[in-house]
């Protein structure tokens, strides 16, 4: 099996396309690295780049992109709505096929070591690469943002994992780590009632809902925090949202599709919808999805999963998840391995 890793570096520049073109152009100078997406956000003043390829080539590509970014982006001039702490704000490595989370952890460590030594860039390890509980969550590392780095770096508890514990005004600081792929997935309902979608989301998401007494007041635990009724699924974030003024949707992030799959959550939403007298009308994937996630769903929906080939199983997933209702679902563009030119 061909080894593939995805990397999704976030750069603190979302308004100057020439800068982003220079960064991505340097990344693509590495053979076998494929650019899947470039998402520039003007208000955030931030760009999210998605590349995929063999592990060592992806590593070299993102190091080259980092060098260009640090040359062209000056954090002293940066402002935007999104939390940020550096010109190269975060560099996650994600296993796609033929690779493991440990592989991605090691890639993040290699990245941190290289850029800290070659560019004197301070780097924190986060997510699966974190060396302490305080550094697992990116929002905890970003707290105080760029403007708070002078004080933060003087605190021994927040010394970088790699690089100097000193404020670098033009570059700021970077976080890197291995993490699971996040699948953004929405399911539409035949109602304009957002509360119904929110009710379903609360029953299913990992965090569940706040426990209330018979008077509707929050039940507070011994630790002073509201107690919660856990939801049905693990590794799932969900909320009620509106697709348009006439259509409510359950909007979700699947944090680990091997734990909570697309078909499992879809069928649960169908069951909960029936209890409310509603129906699921469409599914929607935002961004790209790994092939295995589609195969897992396709084997559930296929009438002949043992004899169907890969393409037929993917089509079963598209039908079962109703991904072709809102728009055509172009598998060769929306499945990571196929978009990268890998057909299995």
pLDDT digits (tens, 9 = 90+) for 31-57: 999 999 999 989 989 999 999 999 999
CA distances from 86 to 52, 130, 162, 169 (A): 23, 18, 15, 9
What pLDDT score does 344 carry? 58
Q: Which of 82, 199, 299, 319 is catalytic?
A: 82
Are 252 and 198 in contact by the 8 Å Cβ rule? The answer is no
State whether 114 and 201 are in the same domain: no
Are 187 and 267 in contact by the 8 Å Cβ rule? The answer is no
| 344 within some domain | no
State whether 149 and 287 are in the same domain: no
The residue among 178, 211, 227 that closes a domain is 178
> How many structural domains compose the chain?
2
* Per-residue pLDDT tens over the stretch 209-247: 888 878 777 877 888 788 888 899 999 999 999 999 999
List the Cα angle 168/19/169 in 5-degree steps: 10
* Per-residue pLDDT tens over the stretch 190-202: 999 999 999 999 9
**DSSP notation for 261-293:** -HHHHHHHHHHHHHHTT--EEEEEEES-B-HHH
| 212 within some domain | yes
Q: Determine the average pLDDT of the residues in 114-143.
A: 96
What pLDDT score does 56 carry? 97
- The DSSP call for residue 324 is T
State whether 80 and 131 are in the same domain: yes
State whether 220 and 139 are in the same domain: no
State whether 166 and 188 are in the same domain: no
What pLDDT score does 216 carry? 78
State whether 299 and 316 are in the same domain: yes
| 13 within some domain | yes
Where residue 215 sits, what CATH number does that domain have?
Answer: 3.30.70.670
Given a cut of 90, whether residue 341 has pLDDT beyond it is no
What pLDDT score does 211 carry? 83
pTM of the complete model: 0.84
Give the whole-angstrom CA distance, residue 208 versus residue 228: 6
Q: Maximum CA pair distance of the chain?
A: 64
Q: Which residues, in sequence order, are CB contacts of 322 under 8 Å at separation 6+?
A: 280, 281, 282, 283
Give the whole-angstrom CA distance, residue 195 versus residue 280: 15
**Which sign, positive or negative, has the C-alpha torsion 66, 69, 70, 75?**
negative
Q: Is 132 exposed, middle or buried (0-12, 13-18, 19+ CB in 10 A)?
A: exposed
What strand order describes the sheet that includes 183-189?
Answer: 236-244, 247-254, 183-189, 280-286
Euclidean distance between the first and final Cα of the chain, in Å? 9
State whether 188 and 331 are in the same domain: yes
Tokens (6 digits) for 284: 């929607």
Give the whole-angstrom CA distance, residue 65 versus residue 28: 9
Give the whole-angstrom CA distance, residue 205 versus residue 197: 12
Give the whole-angstrom CA distance, residue 77 versus residue 11: 14
Where residue 33 sits, what CATH number does that domain have?
Answer: 3.30.990.10
State whether 32 and 154 are in the same domain: yes
Residues of 62-94 as b/e, b for ≥16 C-beta within 10 angstroms? bbbbbbbbbebbebeebebeeebbbbbbbbbbb
Give the whole-angstrom CA distance, residue 2 versus residue 32: 12
What pLDDT score does 51 carry? 96
Are 238 and 251 in contact by the 8 Å Cβ rule? The answer is yes
Return the higher-pLDDT residue of 4 and 343: 4
The residue among 147, 178, 209 that closes a domain is 178
Q: Which residues pair with 125 in a beta bridge?
A: 176
The residue among 178, 208, 231 that closes a domain is 178
What pLDDT score does 218 carry? 83
| 291 within some domain | yes
State whether 162 and 262 are in the same domain: no
CA 254 centroid distance within chain: 9
State whether 136 and 223 are in the same domain: no
Catalytic (active site) residue 78: no
State whether 194 and 322 are in the same domain: yes
Give the whole-angstrom CA distance, residue 234 versus residue 215: 29
Q: Which residues, in sequence order, are CB contacts of 25 under 8 Å at separation 6+?
A: none
Domain that holds residue 95: 4-178
Mean residue pLDDT of the chain comes to 94
Placement of tokens 């499945």 in the chain: 335
* Per-residue pLDDT tens over the stretch 62-95: 999 999 999 999 999 999 888 899 999 999 999 9
State whether 222 and 107 are in the same domain: no
* Per-residue pLDDT tens over the stretch 248-301: 999 999 999 999 999 999 999 999 999 999 999 999 998 899 999 999 999 999
What pLDDT score does 213 carry? 77
């Amino acid at each position: 099996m061909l080894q593939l890793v995805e990397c999704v570096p976030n750069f603190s520049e979302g308004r100057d396309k020439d800068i982003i073109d220079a960064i991505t152009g340097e990344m693509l100078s590495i053979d076998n690295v494929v650019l899947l997406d470039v998402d520039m956000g003007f208000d955030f003043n931030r760009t999210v780049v998605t590349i995929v390829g063999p592990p060592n080539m992806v590593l070299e590509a993102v190091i080259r992109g980092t060098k260009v970014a640090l040359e062209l982006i000056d954090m002293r001039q940066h402002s935007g709505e999104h939390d940020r702490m550096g010109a190269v704000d975060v560099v996650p490595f994600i296993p796609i096929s033929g690779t493991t989370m440990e592989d991605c952890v090691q890639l993040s460590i290699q990245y941190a070591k290289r850029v800290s030594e070659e560019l004197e860039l301070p780097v924190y390890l986060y997510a699966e690469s974190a060396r302490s509980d305080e550094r697992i969550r990116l929002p905890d590392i970003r707290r105080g943002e760029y403007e708070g780095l002078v004080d933060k770096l003087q605190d021994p508890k927040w010394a970088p994992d790699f690089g100097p514990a000193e404020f670098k005004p033009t570059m700021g600081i970077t976080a890197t780590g291995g993490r699971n792929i996040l699948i953004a997935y929405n399911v539409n309902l035949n109602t304009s009632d957002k509360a119904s979608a929110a009710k379903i989301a609360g029953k299913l998401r990992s965090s569940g809902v706040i426990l209330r007494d018979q008077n509707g007041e929050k039940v507070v635990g011994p630790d002073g925090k509201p107690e919660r009724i856990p939801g049905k699924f693990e590794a799932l974030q969900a909320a009620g949202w509106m697709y348009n003024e006439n259509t409510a949707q359950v909007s979700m992030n699947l944090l680990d599709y091997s734990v909570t799959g697309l078909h499992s959550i879809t069928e649960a939403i169908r069951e909960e919808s029936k209890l409310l007298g509603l129906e699921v009308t469409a599914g929607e994937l935002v961004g790209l999805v790994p092939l295995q996630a589609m195969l897992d769903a396709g084997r559930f929906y296929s009438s002949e999963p043992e004899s169907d080939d890969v393409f037929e199983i993917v089509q079963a997933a598209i039908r079962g998840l109703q991904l072709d209702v809102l728009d055509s679902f172009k598998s060769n563009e929306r499945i990571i391995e196929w978009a990268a030119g890998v057909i299995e």
